[in-house]
């Protein structure tokens, strides 16, 4: 099945600068397979109507598809009920809603919010604004020398003042996986709420929110084969019940009076306005596709790619890899620099060869400062990449020094 998987991704047959596309930026956004593209098109061709409103058949069909997608997300995350699953626009929106609406219900003056040094800006800035609003303090957990979360430092920084801990399941720069279960256990001992940013995890490893025992879990559909503009916020029911909506308007209300209104039950209370129905349908199809391949098979394929990539890149003179060099400690992402060459120049040279990688701070400026780098090159791998992609990456990287012979 894995062998023929590339045929499902039409974009992989395109050319970039006259060369075959070598797409190594799945961490920014994944490519989309035919079943997802077809599901979105079929929805618009045969089912399009607004949801939850009409008593007519087409609206019921659209509602069934939308709510069916919610059940697929529920099963994908092993959540107890579809009431736990809120559709949002993205990870960013999920985290903002938490910080804006849930945050002030548990964080007050003098309290602490605990993050780590490897967070994406989406998991920093919303908490900064909350901390400023309520007079709380943000604290950051240190990393070990190879870029893992330092569990001892995490345990030490936790105290009864810690009201929220929020961290990435998988780092978008280093590919390292947080020990989520252990962190949740320790955080719960001091009564803190555990928020996990799953943006870089959901496409690469199985996620079981019950087993991990996290309170909230946020992710974006577009990083796991689905369209842009659809995201998810999972929350434990007791916590969602105590969280006020972040947005108000149509669809989320039960009864509207002139001075006040009552709201729908979970999860619809959080989904004001017409939702991204086609996006949810696309996400449902993406989940079907991933489950058909199996997350374990996906992880195994990506681990093979990572193994080759680390071995090959390590032979390139002047190339430094950030984070762990054991492929088992990484998911999907490989950040590096070539000494004396700006990462943007590396990415531009690679682009000439059709090799698409990201260069920059990857929306993780505190981590860049922590690594002592202004920017890095990042190659990221998905199960639809192959060994040939790595050969092309390495060939292109070997030409970089030809452009900068004196460095």
- For 195, the 3-state DSSP assignment is strand
Distance CA 348, CA 341 (A): 11
Contact (Cβ atoms closer than 8 angstroms) between residue 161 and residue 130: no
- Closer to ligand PMP by Cβ: residue 62 or 377: 377
93 is catalytic: no
Q: Which is nearer to ligand PMP, 195 or 346 (CB)?
A: 195
Please state, in angstroms and rounded to a whole number, the distance separating the CA atoms of residues 187 and 27: 28
Give the Cα-Cα-Cα angle 181, 183, 187 (nearest 5 degrees).
Answer: 120
In angstroms, what is the minimal distance from the CB of 315 to ligand PMP? 28
8 or 197: whose CB is closer to ligand PMP?
A: 197
Helix (H) or strand (E) holding 194, with range, is: strand 193-197
Structural element, H or E, at residue 217: strand 216-220
Alpha carbon distance 278, 406 (integer Å): 53
Instruction: Give the pair of three-digit tokens for residue 356.
Output: 């698409």
**Closest by Cα among 321, 26, 360 to 200:** 26
Number of H helices, E strands in the chain: 14, 17
Which two tokens mark 86?
């809120």
Residue 91 or residue 162: which is nearer to ligand PMP going by CB?
Answer: 91
Q: State the catalytic residue, choosing from 85, 363, 364, 377.
A: 363
Q: How many CB atoms lie within 10 A of CB 265?
A: 9
As measured in angstroms, the least distance from the Cβ of 168 to ligand PMP is 4
Number of neighbouring beta carbons within 10 Å of residue 392: 20
Rule CB under 6 A: which residues touch ligand PMP? Answer: 90-92, 120, 122-123, 168, 172, 197, 199-200, 220, 363
In the complex, minimum distance from the CB of residue 122 to ligand PMP, in angstroms, rounded to a whole number: 4
Question: CA Rg, the chain, in Å?
Answer: 22
Q: Provide, rounded to whole angstroms, the least separation between the CB of residue 93 and ligand PMP.
A: 7
Q: How far is the CB of 124 from ligand PMP (least distance, A)?
A: 10
Of 27 and 285, nearer to ligand PMP (C-beta) is 27
CB of 173 to ligand PMP, least distance (A): 9
Is the CB of 172 or the CB of 386 nearer to ligand PMP? 172
For 170-189, the DSSP string reads B-TTT-PBP-HHHHHHHHHH
Catalytic residues: 363
């Amino acid at each position: 099945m894995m062998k023929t998987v590339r045929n499902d991704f039409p974009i992989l047959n395109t050319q970039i600068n006259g060369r075959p596309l070598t797409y190594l930026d799945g961490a920014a956004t994944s490519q989309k397979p035919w079943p997802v593209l077809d599901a979105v098109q079929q929805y618009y061709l045969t089912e399009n109507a607004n949801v939850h409103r009409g008593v007519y058949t087409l609206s019921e069909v659209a509602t069934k598809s939308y709510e069916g997608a919610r059940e697929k997300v529920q099963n994908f995350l092993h959540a107890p009920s579809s009431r736990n699953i809120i559709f949002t626009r993205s990870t960013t929106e999920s985290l903002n809603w938490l910080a804006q609406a849930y945050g002030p219900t548990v964080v007050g003056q003098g309290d602490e919010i605990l993050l780590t040094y490897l967070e994406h800006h989406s998991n920093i800035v919303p908490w900064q604004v909350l901390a400023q609003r309520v007079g709380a303090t943000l604290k950051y957990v240190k990393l070990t020398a190879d870029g893992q979360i330092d569990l001892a430092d995490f345990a030490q920084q936790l105290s009864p003042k810690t009201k929220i801990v929020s961290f990435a399941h998988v780092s978008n720069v280093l590919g390292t996986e947080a020990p989520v279960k252990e962190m949740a256990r320790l955080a719960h001992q001091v009564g803190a709420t555990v928020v996990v940013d799953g943006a870089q995890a959901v496409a690469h490893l199985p996620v079981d929110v019950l087993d991990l025992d996290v309170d909230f879990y946020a992710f974006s559909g577009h990083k796991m084969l689905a369209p842009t503009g659809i995201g998810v916020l999972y929350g434990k029911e007791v916590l969602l019940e105590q969280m006020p909506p972040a947005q108000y308007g149509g669809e989320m209300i039960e009864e509207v009076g002139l001075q006040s209104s009552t709201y729908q039950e979970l999860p619809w209370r959080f989904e004001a306005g017409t939702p991204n129905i086609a996006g949810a349908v696309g996400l449902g199809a993406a989940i079907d596709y991933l489950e058909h391949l199996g997350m374990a098979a996906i992880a195994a394929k990506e681990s093979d790619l990572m193994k080759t990539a680390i071995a090959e890149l390590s032979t390139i003179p002047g190339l430094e890899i950030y984070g762990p060099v054991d492929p088992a400690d990484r998911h999907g992402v490989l950040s590096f620099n070539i000494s004396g060459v700006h990462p943007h120049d590396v990415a531009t040279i690679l682009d000439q060869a059709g090799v698409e990688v990201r260069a920059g701070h990857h929306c993780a400026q505190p981590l860049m400062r922590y690594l002592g780098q202004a920017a890095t090159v990042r190659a990221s791998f998905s199960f639809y990449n192959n060994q040939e992609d790595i050969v092309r990456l390495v060939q292109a990287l070997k030409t970089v020094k030809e452009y900068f012979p004196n460095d």
